Structure 1
Amino acid sequence: MDQCHGLAWEEATPVRTFRWSRGLGHFPGWWWAASTGRHVGFESWLEQDRLILLDFDPEVVGIASQPFWLHWHDGKEKRRHAPDYFVRLADGRARVVDVRAEDQVDERTAEAFAATERACSAVGWEFRHVGVPDPALMANLRWLARYRHPRCAGGPGIAARLRETFAVPTPLLTGAEAIGDRLAVLPALFHLMWKQELVADLAHERLDPATLVRSASSAGGPS
């Protein structure tokens, strides 16, 4: 473990293969992370949701899926566990994340998480077990994530006009239509919301034309 501490685990390749096969009962895939410009694997809808949240988090600068095997002996048998994600934060801290709905954590899973937490603590890493995210927030982020790629930023001047228009809280569609054709403006608006340069209350209500949007700088930072 001491030899692992200083390595760039956020660049690790998965230790397990992500398999696509009918009847497996799960949903594997790859997520393109705007925060890193790299693809990150997932094995379920819940893991994909967690990737969206990590990608949206301004503190996250690196993500790797299934980054390593942790081996231990529980007193009866040899065990091993591959955590779902290794996350590198902007201040250099490391965080290991396991994703599992609370009602799906059985005794063996809880033991694996506990062993992982002990191992992480030994090298100064954080460990988090995360479950099902807030449904309203997740619905909004799934929508905004469609516009995370830089190609959605819009033409020259649109971003500046959006920041100016939403310097004070303004209904989403009203502000967009004040700038121009909604088909051209809305992708850039959603892109800036994904980047958290424009912010709204994403945690308590679904985005709609009347959602109040404002500049993050005018609000003192992202919400």
Structure 2
Amino acid sequence: MAPQPALLDHAPVGPSSADVPWSDTSTLHDLARMHAISADAVGQLVMPPDWSARWTTAWRFGRTLVGCAVRDLGEVDLLSSVPVRRFSWRTDQWHRPGLGYLVSTERHHGFESFEEELLLLAADFSCSLVEALAQPFRLRFRSVNGSVEHIPDYLLLTDGTPWLIDVRPSERIEPEDDIKFAAAAEVALVAGWNYAVVAGWRDHVVGLIDTFSAGRRRLTDPLQLQEQLLLAAEDGPQPFGTLVARCSLEAVARAHAMHLLWHRRLGLQITGPLTDASTIRRSPSRRSTSGSWWQ
């Protein structure tokens, strides 16, 4: 099974960081509830010494399906691939597919459920996403019960190590799913990727990221309100209402504060929904792309 990557061990900077993370230095572990793959599921995998040559993946390039052994994943042209399985829309289906726009890639990406849509939005918030590949490949592996297939939900390419991610609410994870997740984790380890199963989100995270996303697009700033916000934040953590009131035009400053929160130049202590009483600080990194999700 793949070891825990450094991202999951990273502790955010700031007061009471062990208990209350800041949004500007938050990691995937701070925001998401991760499913722990059981040792029993790993034990169900059939992994002879040459398993990475026996286990295969199938990738789609245009209309062409191309097979690749797990051991050769480093040779795949990831950016030229398309989803291995088409998204479908039907009036009688239970899940909710759609297209979500990401600022990081400046285009829409497919999702098959509300949970997957949340993952895309959260990945966009990381400020280091380069590409999001939905349903990137079909994995065929062997378990003690025979041949099994699994299509991971996303391969997220970042400015660091790629992330292979499955999204499944914890109450919907069955034993057979756990075996598939265990296999995907082994594949990610061989390919040099990180792997995670996102089973939910921590308290207030969904609402906060959705709120920040209102300011994610480029903003003109003729009144230099962003500079005023950052200068005021130099005085240390303070209530959101106090911070914006120190600007020359408070109502407009609120919109620019959202923009700075999304781009992690300001940080919010994740203790509840955003209100005037929420604690805000200037990011210690002082970088507009200071996403620590993937580090």
TM-score under structure 1 length normalisation: 0.86
From 209, 217, 222, the counterpart of 2:284: 217
From 176, 183, 192, the counterpart of 1:124: 192
Distance of 1:71 and 1:95 partners within structure 2: 19
Shift of 1:207: 0.8
Distance of 1:150 and 1:134 partners within structure 2: 28
Alignment of 1:30-49 (within 5 A): 30-49=99-118
From 240, 264, 272, the counterpart of 1:196: 264
Structure 2 residue aligned with 1:141: 209
**Identity over aligned residues, as a percent?**
24
Structure 2 residue aligned with 1:206: 273
From 210, 222, 237, the counterpart of 1:155: 222
Q: Once the two structures are superposed, what CA deviation does each residue of 1:17-63 show, in whole Å capped at 9, x if it has no partner?
A: 22232231111122222223232221111111222221112443332
Checking the alignment, whether the CA contact within 8 Å between 1:11 and 1:63 is kept in structure 2 is no
- Counterpart residue type for residue 90 of structure 1: D
- Counterpart residue type for residue 81 of structure 2: A
Q: Which runs of 4+ in 1 moved over 6 A?
A: 218-223
Q: Give SS of 2:201's match.
A: coil
Cα 1:150/1:8, change in 2 over 3 Å = farther
Distance of 1:156 and 1:5 partners within structure 2: 49
TM-score under structure 2 length normalisation: 0.67
Distance of 2:96 and 2:248 partners within structure 1: 40
Shift of 1:77: 4.7
Shift of 1:155: 3.4
Distance of 2:259 and 2:75 partners within structure 1: 34
Q: Once the two structures are superposed, what CA deviation does each residue of 1:120-172 show, in whole Å capped at 9, x if it has no partner?
A: 22222222111101131221111111221114x54351221111122222321
Shift of 1:194: 0.4
Ranges in structure 2 where 5+ consecutive residues have no aligned partner: 1-69
Structure 1 residue aligned with 2:5: none
Cα 1:103/1:9, change in 2 over 3 Å = same
Distance of 2:176 and 2:111 partners within structure 1: 21
Structure 1 residue aligned with 2:157: 88
Q: Indicate the larger mover: 45-54 or 97-106.
A: 45-54
By relative contact order (CA 8 Å, sep 6+), the higher-ranking structure is 2
Cα 1:162/1:111, change in 2 over 3 Å = same
How many positions carry a matched residue from both structures?
Answer: 220
Checking the alignment, whether the CA contact within 8 Å between 2:216 and 2:262 is kept in structure 1 is yes
Ranges in structure 1 where 5+ consecutive residues have no aligned partner: none
Checking the alignment, whether the CA contact within 8 Å between 1:167 and 1:218 is kept in structure 2 is no
Distance of 1:100 and 1:158 partners within structure 2: 41
- Counterpart residue type for residue 99 of structure 1: V
Checking the alignment, whether the CA contact within 8 Å between 2:71 and 2:191 is kept in structure 1 is yes
